[in-house]
Amino acid sequence: MDRFQLYIDGVFEDGAARFPSLDPATGAAWTDMPEAREDEVNRAVTAAHRAFITGPWPKMTATQRGKLLMKLADLMAEAAPDLARLETRDTGKIIRETTAQITYVADYYRYYAGLADKIEGAHLPIDKPDMEVWLRREPVGVVASIVPWNSQLFLSAVKLGPALAAGCTVVLKASEDGPAPLLHFARLIHAAGFPPGVVNILTGFGATCGQVLTTHPKVAHIAFTGGPGTARAVVRNSAENLASTSLELGGKSPFIVFDDADLDSAANAQVSGIFAATGQSCVAGSRLLVQAGVKDAFLAKLKEKAEAIRIAAPDDMATEVGPLCTARQRDHIIATIAASQAKGAKVITGGAPLPGAGFYFPPTILDCSSAPEAPALAEEFFGPVLAVESFATEEEALEKANATAYGLASGVFTRSLTRAHRMIRGIRAGVVWVNTYRAVSPIAPFGGHGLSGHGREGGLAAALDYTRTKTVWLRTSDDPIPDPFVMR
């Protein structure tokens, strides 16, 4: 059995204690994990701060940092099968998804490897004839990166990649749920040759690990992905060290289908948008808004597709939907469906957990067209549950799409180019997909607003978030500066 360890200052070590990690497919413990507490967190942050100030890292050129990131990308591509196997075992994500995603994640490190020596300053055409003024972009310092269990290698790449490209050092906290792949990833960091302390990887619980990390006085920036409740605690914690924050917090994304859409294409995208990753995705298209004239036909297609989905063990390449990661997710879904039914929502398919071991829940469709107060329309399930509403007009579709406290992603399906542009302008979300869904790239910024957070991950914008601007003034005149207290 592989023994997982914390990675602090270039050394692998056991934590203050160990705790069991459950296999979501069986509900039973399959191994144990190291727990970081105050001492381990303090040592990790201290190591990161020391590595930022002294040693080889701050002396490296941007190009040298890029070469290290490229080496990490190559190692990650080689280790993709092992990482995929661990993520599937520890989180329940199906192996066909973890394999494809982790292979692509290596491209994120390649992108930021190439971007490292392209983070530029600027020369200012200042209004003073005897001055040269320019701007330098410099790394902010120690970054606390906190990621959830779902898509954790991707969510860490969009933080680590730009932070390291910018010259920062990082303490990465993996979720206490399913941390195995990130603890294994630490071995790749070590093998790539990053200097000790540049990247430190921990796991542990919120009160004894996360709070210590986010309040630490040497932390300059906090990059967090998770839920709004935890994010509020992170923001309150950041008042202690006045760290800047970037928050990616999930959503309740509208998936809008007009009556002129290609319904077969839209149905396939909707199935992917809500049932892929067992619905455990921040961009899940969990609110279907379908035009009234095609509602029945479209729901019939969705019901047929949902009921044909193969639910089985996550390590089987033929499986299409696996278990939820935790029992508390399953319980939250059960309670929210019941509360929505009490408000008038109708179950079209699914709706109850599957019998037997593990945290399995079937693809579920709830018709909330006659239940506008149903919690299913407002609350994030983080599971394979689709809430459906209908609309009559484009104006009504836009109004319902924006009737949410979230603002992360959205999808629009229509053959009308002019309508697509009107919807793009009107939807309040950080991402709008038109006639597609869930497309991502390291080149494209990603993020939201409202309860979906702030800041962007991906693209050049993310790297700039890990820098601060230094303004440099240089006087070019050889004349002495006049005595300011002598009247002339």
Question: Do residues 9 and 42 lie in contact, with contact meaning Cβ atoms separated by under 8 Å?
Answer: no
* Token reading at 107: 């491209």
Name the residue with tokens 């990621």: 147
User: Hey, which residues does 385 pair with through a beta bridge?
Assistant: 364
β 385-391/467-475 pair status = unpaired
Pick from 144, 161, 167: nearest CA to 59 = 167
Residues 6 or more apart whose CB falls under 8 angstroms from that of 483 comprise: none
* Calpha distance 438→282 (Å, rounded): 10
* Calpha distance 48→8 (Å, rounded): 9
The residues carrying an active-site annotation are 248
Region of 459 on the Ramachandran plot (φ > 0 left; ψ -120 to 50 alpha; else beta): left
Residues 6 or more apart whose CB falls under 8 angstroms from that of 146 comprise: 172, 173, 210, 213, 214, 222, 223, 224, 225, 226, 234
User: Hey, which residues does 255 pair with through a beta bridge?
Assistant: 288, 411
